[in-house]
Amino acid sequence: MNNMNRQLILIGAGGHARACIDVIETEKKYTIAGLVGRAEEVDAKIFAYKVLGTDSSLFMLAGEFNYAFIGVGQLKTPKIRIHLFEQGLAAGFLFPTIISPQAYVSPHAKIGEGTIVMHGAIVNAGASVGKNCIINSNALIEHDSIIGDNTHISTGAIVNGGAEVGSGSFVGSRSVISNCVSIGRNSFIGLGAEVKLSLGNESKFI
């Protein structure tokens, strides 16, 4: 692929987008053509990159660029990321997997489309990470664990071997999920929590 074919639109222009830019630039597989943001952000620059339009511009931009990536973070709810991901797919964008060269992803692990593995993160053998996820800086996804779609594993969090985190969940910074524990969909695990027993859907553990 030439550089034109590898141009990428980053959907989102806030703090998480800035962190994504750093990883994308470091990986050097894709060139950022510009960003999509809120109406008041249009024509602003994030580092060297211009905000080209809002999410209503996605169908137009998909006629010019092949790739997009979600640069919106996820704390209380995954709904915005899910909506934008689905909107981008409907527009015809391809969503690559972005992996920092400062991360380690086992060749025996699986990473879904639209997922970012950030600096210092580790995804070990047999682990499976779904689509449109954030595996944030220094997070550890241990062997044979399963991370559902649209999930954010935050900075320094540990998901131990054989654990399962349901889709749409948030696992807070420095929290620890014990071996073989299952966490249901759309759950929220707070900062520094230690989860030793399985939790149902939409659980909050703070």
Statement to judge: residues 189 and 124 lie in one domain: yes
Domain annotation covers residue 110: yes
Instruction: Compute mean pLDDT per 10 residues along the chain, 206 residues long, and list them.
Output: 74 97 97 97 96 96 97 94 98 98 98 98 98 98 98 98 98 98 98 97 95
Residue range(s) defining the domain that contains residue 177:
97-195
Whole-angstrom Cα distance, residue 153 to residue 56? 29
pLDDT digits (tens, 9 = 90+) for 119-168: 999 999 999 999 999 999 999 999 999 999 999 999 999 999 999 999 99
Domain annotation covers residue 203: no
Whole-angstrom Cα distance, residue 149 to residue 174? 21
3-state secondary structure of 20: helix
Specify the pTM: 0.96
The catalytic residue among 16, 83, 108, 143 is 143
Domain annotation covers residue 206: no
Asked about 143 being catalytic, the answer comes back as yes
Whole-angstrom Cα distance, residue 68 to residue 146? 25
DSSP-derived letter for residue 199 is: B
Kind of pairing between the strands at 194-195 and 182-183:
unpaired
